[in-house]
A and B are shown apart, each in its own frame.
Chain A
């Protein structure tokens, strides 16, 4: 089972002029086997939602709840959330100088599983995962995200998704900055993950392009810190045709 349940979530960030509320009551439930797409204009709070779920210290939850299979996620530390089964593919993956990808992956896998992976299988898994994502085997010895191209960073995020195998994946604009080949490769990775039993996907995107490769069960239009409309895949098509115009004028 894996259900991520977000209820009336309000989130602020500290700014020079005091706290600023960015999420203004987000309610969303992602159940087993479901893929939800969140679409919204720049600055609408999509990344804020993703980071708040993952527990980034910059964001303060002022009210509301986030539960994973009934467990209070907001009570957990960042690493506890990951060990509970949440994964965030970041819009801007962070460089960690001097820490090799292979060391990083092994350390993360060990932390998530509570024991070190069997070496022989693990090396094979890593190599085949990197290969499927069209990342050279030499990636293992490179420092995490350092000197990676934009596309390589995103593919590295999906490699982690596949290897760490969480319950629920939040993908924050994993599609942005990818050319069409990379977009296909990344989408295939996400689909492989989603096809496993009991997985949930929250796909945050600005564009409809990726929805040609990843079929969402639900689409939510995100505007000014909350869900403005929810529907099925057809809602994405309407957005493709009409843009966010109608929601933006309604929001102000």
Chain B
């Protein structure tokens, strides 16, 4: 593959010594509050995990914490070549891997749910997760993060040819959690991959979600829903690397912010390489700022190296409640707090429908409701 000179995608290496700890001046770290990551991005020692990991394993699916050579063999199944110190360290230093193995042509009716419940934010830990979906399989995997943790994590996803896969990662952490995670996926020929990031909890959550293609015709949908409260930093960085022809990427991330010091970051990188003719990409990030004192950074970035594309576009907005919408609702007798509720639910609704995991829908609606109760509704009373 040809090299692309871009400061956003430095060449990676498995060699830990090839990386240095970020200073915060690097483009890819400039928004992240490194101090609050408790050394996760640098050289903090990774201690044995204090997170309780449990799962359901439907028939025909192997879910297991593997070790030794098998675990080693799973490093890089997504094509990941780390471009960060923490990524390289997780691959080199973590001895085991949580593997979800969905064999070829297996079709699951219900999602595989993995609960990761942090027990101690004082323990700095690291984890490697490998999700392998065989050719023409159809499955949904949910990673449900709760509790208190200080965690560096690499999630590698391999989507086989023709597979139809959803990976949902819920960051429903307690207030004291720091979570630095990198999700890397490679999408097979004519496969479809939906990745959903839902981030509500934690002191600092930073997720990098990258996708490449392993053949033409792959379709990717990257969805995100986040809600930052007072003092929270929630950062989502996406990278769709169109390295094969006739591939698609559709990105929709929506966030709401409330309370002093709430900070969200969305960086959407799309690279369309020379070989990637006939591709289609669209990325959208919308932020709803509910109170004063919040910061939403939204940075779409499209690099195009071929003229032969079907369509490429992006949209990014950061806005307040729309006065006209509120007036309209209130002119029908709906009180201000209720009008706020309706608008926020409406803002997230189409996204929640797109996520299309029925098991999650109610929980998401309830979580949005819970977040609103913390601030918007309280203020309005």
Contacts and interface: CB of A to CB of B under 8 A. Distances in A.
Interface of A: 54-58, 77-79, 81-83, 87-88, 90, 93-99, 103-104, 107-108, 111-112, 143-144, 160, 164
Interface stretch (B61-69, B174-182, B275-283, B319-327): B319-327
Contacts, number: 81
Q: For this complex, into which size category does the number of interface residues on chain B fall?
A: 20 to 34
B335 A79 contact: yes
Contact of B328 (A83, A93, A103, A164): A93
Nearest to A160: B332
**When A and B form their complex, which 9 residue pairs have the shortest distance between CB atoms, in order from nearest?**
A98-B346, A98-B349, A82-B333, A108-B332, A94-B328, A99-B346, A111-B333, A78-B330, A112-B333
Given A55-B331, A94-B328, A99-B345, 13 more contacts: A79-B330, A79-B335, A82-B330, A90-B328, A94-B325, A96-B342, A96-B346, A98-B347, A99-B346, A103-B342, A104-B329, A111-B335, A112-B332
Contacts of A103: 342
B338 interface: yes
Interface of B: 322-325, 327-336, 338-339, 342-343, 345-350
Given A78-B327, A82-B333, A97-B347, A111 B338 contact: yes
Contacts of A56: 327
Contact of B346 (A57, A77, A97): A97
B342 A104 contact: yes
B342 A78 contact: no
Contacts of B345: 98-99
Contacts of A93: 328
Contacts of B324: 94
A60 to B, nearest CB: 15
A223 B143 CA distance: 65
B333 A98 contact: no
Nearest to B341: A107
A20 to B, nearest CB: 19
Given A104-B342, A107-B338, A111-B338, A96 B328 contact: yes
A204 B325 CA distance: 22
Contact of B332 (A55, A57, A82, A98): A82
B353 to A, nearest CB: 9
27 contacts: A54-B327, A58-B323, A77-B330, A78-B330, A79-B331, A79-B335, A79-B339, A81-B331, A82-B331, A82-B333, A82-B334, A87-B331, A93-B328, A94-B324, A94-B328, A96-B343, A99-B346, A104-B329, A104-B332, A107-B334, A107-B338, A107-B342, A108-B334, A111-B333, A112-B333, A144-B328, A160-B332
A165 to B, nearest CB: 11
> Which residue of A79, A81, A87, A104 has the most chain B CB atoms within 10 A of its CB atom?
A79
A172 to B, nearest CB: 11
Nearest to A94: B328
A50 to B, nearest CB: 10
B184 to A, nearest CB: 32
A83 B335 CA distance: 10
Contacts of A107: 334, 338, 342
> Which residue of A90, A98, A108 has the most chain B CB atoms within 10 A of its CB atom?
A98
B347 A54 contact: no
A88 B331 contact: yes
A98 B329 CA distance: 13
Contacts of B327: 54, 56-57, 78, 94
Contacts of B349: 98-99
A90 B332 CA distance: 11
B346 A143 contact: yes
